Amino acid sequence: MSFLFTFVFGSVCLAQQSGKFRPGQLWPDDNGVHINAHGGGMLLYEGTYYWFGEHKVAGEIGNTAQVGVHCYSSKDLYNWVDRGIALAVSDEGDIQKGCILERPKVIYNARTKKFVMWFHLELKGKGYSSARAGIAVADEVTGPYRFIRSTRATPGQYPVNVSDSACTADQLFIRDLAGGQMVRDQQLFVDDDGKAYHIFASEENQTLHIAELTDDYLDYTGKYVRAFEGRYMEAPAIFKKDGLYYFMGSGCTGWAPNAARSAVAPSIWGPWTELGNPCVGRDAEKTFFSQSTYILPVPGEKDKFIYMGDRWTPSNPIDGRYIWLPIRFEGRKFKIEWVDEWGLDDF
């Protein structure tokens, strides 16, 4: 298989090595094989980028976890080295082969010197009813990561932005209060002070939750807010610029693309003000047939950010393509426009 990809996609490989991104095209790694890191996130550690994502296989079975979380490394964001499977599925337990393991994100804890991975987990054979967060940890950035546990979010805790007197029995977060809140599409964010936050679709995808993590990044402190109540958002991504917090996400239309959404807030806790669809131009109403997975700040560049999205192909997940595009700002709003080919010097 590696030889086939090297032969057929050699021209694409050269295109990436020339220092240009080509959104939606095949993106070979150092072995000439299309990068297999879907729904992924990025970690910059000691001058090297590490890209973690879902390892997919061919056919519809590929939308369940058959292998685990793949890791790649790069010095320039164009050329990627296959670093293998960072977290492997098991023969039994919560992350057994055939479970649903989505949107893995890794952050580094400078205090504990550990690399911490969170992901959305659905137990095998349960469809999307489990709605759990999975947590794993490693001593080395590329792993192997050791699965610790899975959990619902913030069990027994009320959101800080909802008064007890305003709660009603029919609210979904009240329904899930004792056992913990649902966790689906998810994201991690580490602020300038080292505090980490877990952002995830909850309450049957109706509302996003933003929850503070403990100092070791392995659990919840119990402090969280409900955001975008009743807006049915998923695919959350958060970044920070000039002291403001920016959000990007999508509506809930399954594998089908929809118009992206954006918002801004003075604090991670809100209040969040929606800014509309940040995408402009042709196919903007479909987010260029992609869905957000991560917003990557370009180190050393105060105002440079990269939109990372996935173009899903559920009938053959291994063929899913990556849509990376530059983010530009107009006042307090950001915009994303399609570019067939671009590089970091083109901002």
pLDDT in tens, 8-26: 334 344 434 568 999 999 9
> What pTM was computed for the model?
0.94
Task: Supply the mean pLDDT for the chain.
Answer: 93
Tokens representing residue 343 in the block: 């590089």
Lowest mean pLDDT among 17-21, 58-62, 224-228, 277-281: 17-21
pLDDT in tens, 287-338: 999 999 999 999 888 889 999 999 999 999 999 999 999 999 999 999 999 9
> Is CATH 2.115.10.20 correct for 233-347?
yes
Q: Computed over its alpha carbons, how large is the radius of gyration of the chain?
A: 19
pLDDT in tens, 231-250: 999 999 999 999 999 999 99
Which residues are CB-neighbours of 92 under 8 A, at least 6 positions away?
none
pLDDT value of residue 231: 97
Give me the residue spans of the domains in the chain: 1-28, 233-347
Banded pLDDT at 165 (limits 50, 70, 90): low
pLDDT value of residue 77: 96
